[in-house]
Amino acid sequence: MVTSFTFSFDALLACLFPLALFAVVLRTSFANLRAWSWAAARDFLSLRSLKFSAHGPFSQEKAYQSYTQYSRLAGLEVATRQAMYSSLGRAHKRLGNKIGYPAKLEQLRYVTDINATITEGIAGLAAKEFGLSETYAGHADLSRVRESLKHFIRDWSEEGAQEREKIFRPILDVLAAVNPLERKDKRILVPGSGLGRLAWEISQLGYDTTANEYSFFMNFAFRFLLSAETTPSINEHTLRPYAHWFSHQRSNDSLFRAIHFPDAVPRLTLNFRLAESDFLTLSPPPPRTQPDTSPPDFAWSKSDAGDVHDQKGYDYIVTLFFLDTSLNVFETMEHIHTLLRPGGTWINMGPLLWTSGGHAKLELSLDEVICAAEEIGFVFQNGSGDGDGKGGLGARCTVECEYTGDLKAMMRWIYKAEFWVATKTK
Ligand SMILES: C[S@@+](CC[C@H](N)C(=O)[O-])C[C@H]1O[C@@H](n2cnc3c(N)ncnc32)[C@H](O)[C@@H]1O
């Protein structure tokens, strides 16, 4: 008798749950339907044409809307998890209660609210600096907000130091080998700079550095760090960046762990700029007017200083996990070539995860990328060999690394990123 009651109660729940879910979906859909517009439809249909339009997927409006909506959308996700849990049978719910699963979902709600203080801070600053308000009618993009939040960890936390060391070191070693007295006269562009740590590190070496990024998901987050108003000091902020993905976690402590950032405080300076635009629209900087006046007695090499000031273009372009975001990698490499001065240097580190979601016009193998780069007019330092890393400073090599990895997770996604230094010869 008891069994049949339990069975019919569970059956009732099983019927009610889809109905409840249907009601939630219906409500959300109607709410979104009101917000649906031509801009949102275009967001959905096209990547390329929208990147640079007022309401594109990386636009100020979309990013602002997404940061503003983070709390609500993440809250809905928690509600969905709670509804899924409620749909369990009584025996399984008793077991779930025993191991504290409902409390874990409550903790997720609490942590989501804490993370929202960061996203609200980012949105607040963006509203102030760009005069934005919630008039954008397109859909918010929770995943891009989360990607940017994870970049706080990759770029600006002690937790991310290990990940950064592997990929920054070969690049910074090449740049650190240049005479410090020459560096201030050398211009470096870092396209696709994300949250800007590499570009900032390069500027700290004394180079005249421009970080370039077109996604306002990234730029708003970076501005949050650059502003003395929102980030006055080191490790000022706290995030629980891994909380929303329950997979591969050894414990809830690990899942909900807090990470403080930034481990260094970046500011824009005379030698550190941010160009918030599409890399493909950038022009080579004009020739420098000031000749190099550094004393000649310094021990570092002074190979080409002095004769480069009448040339327009960057001395270095540094691409980190950037090349494979290209819709047309030929166009990207040609533009790197155009922006460099003759004799200028392209430093690259990254995999070939073609990320334009089926929109890329080309998806090349590494061999093809190298061949095309040579055709365009690059000569690879220490040859274009097999990247075994035995060629010394700046030699092509393969670097095992991660991208916004979780150090404590039960899985690792390892890239075998390719590092090279190439010179513009023609
Ligand atoms: C995979 S992420 C890498 C970010 C950063 N370099 C790093 O390693 O953390 C690629 C970045 O390039 C940016 N990006 C892609 N195409 C771009 C373009 N044409 N102009 C400027 N930024 C671009 C994206 O918005 C994204 O932030």
Q: Indicate if ligand 1 lies below 6 Å from the C-beta of 264.
A: no
Q: What is the pTM of this model?
A: 0.84
User: Which pLDDT band, with edges at 50, 70 and 90, does 57 fall under?
Assistant: confident
pLDDT above 90 covers a percentage of the chain that reads: 74
pLDDT digits (tens, 9 = 90+) for 173-191: 999 999 999 999 999 999 9
Rounded to an integer, the average pLDDT of 57-83 is 95
Nearest CA to ligand 1 atom 17: 192
Residue 42 pLDDT > 80, yes or no?
A: no
Q: Is the CB of 215 under 6 A from ligand 1?
A: yes
The mean pLDDT of 137-147, rounded to a whole number, is 90
Indicate the DSSP class of residue 281: G
What value does the mean pLDDT of the chain take? Answer: 86
Q: What is the pLDDT at residue 390?
A: 65
Per 3-state DSSP, the chain is made up of helix, strand and coil in percentages (nearest 5) of: 45, 15, 40
193 lines ligand 1 (CB under 6 A): yes
What number is the average pLDDT over the span 132-149?
A: 87
User: Which residue owns the Cα nearest ligand 1 atom 9?
Assistant: 194
Tokens 């023609």 sit on residue: 426
Predicted confidence band of residue 355 (pLDDT cuts 50, 70, 90)? confident
Whether residue 241 is predicted with pLDDT greater than 60 in this model: the reply is yes
pLDDT at 345 over 60: yes
Nearest to 414 by CA among 322, 349, 351, 320: 351
Tell me whether the omega of the peptide bond preceding residue 191 falls within 30 degrees of 0, making it cis. no
> How many A from CA of 321 to the centre of ligand 1?
7
322 Cα nearest atom in ligand 1: 10
- Atom index in ligand 1 nearest the CA of residue 212 equals 21
| Mean pLDDT to the nearest integer, 106-133 | 96
Ligand 1 neighbour 219 (Cβ under 6 A): no
How far is 46 from 59, CA to CA, in rounded Å? Answer: 14
Average pLDDT, integer, range 356-375:
92
Report the atom number in ligand 1 closest to the C-alpha of 325: 15
Query: Does the Cβ of 69 fall within 6 Å of ligand 1?
Result: no
Compute the average pLDDT of residues 144-166: 97
Q: Ligand 1 centre from 237 Cα, in Å?
A: 24
- CA–CA distance, 371 with 389 (Å, rounded to integer): 19
> Measured from the CB, is residue 222 less than 6 Å from ligand 1?
no
Which residue's alpha carbon is nearest to atom 3 within ligand 1?
321
| Ligand 1 centroid from CA 319, angstroms | 9
Whether residue 324 has its Cβ less than 6 Å from ligand 1: no
pLDDT tens for 258-280 read: 999 999 999 999 999 999 999 99
Report the residue among 171, 214, 218 best suited for mutation to probe ligand 1: largest number of ligand atoms under 8 A from its CB: 214
Mutate to test the pocket of ligand 1, among 147, 213, 419 (most ligand atoms within 8 A of CB): 213
With cut-offs at 50, 70 and 90, classify the pLDDT of residue 382.
Answer: confident
Q: What is the position in ligand 1's atom list of the atom closest to the CA of 355?
A: 1
Please tell me if the CB atom of residue 325 comes closer than 6 angstroms to any atom of ligand 1. Answer: yes
Task: Specify which of 22-31, 200-209, 304-313, 378-387 reaches the highest per-range mean pLDDT.
Answer: 200-209
Please tell me the distance between residue 364's alpha carbon and the centre of ligand 1 in angstroms: 18
Ligand 1 in reach of 122 Cβ (< 6 A): no
Question: Can you tell me the distance from the alpha carbon of 71 to that of 75, in angstroms, rounded to the nearest whole number?
Answer: 6
Chain centroid, CA 158 distance in Å: 17
Q: Output b/e per residue, 115-134; b: 16+ Cβ within 10 A.
A: bbebbebbbebbbeebebee
Residue appearing with tokens 């493909």: 280
**149, pLDDT greater than 70:** yes
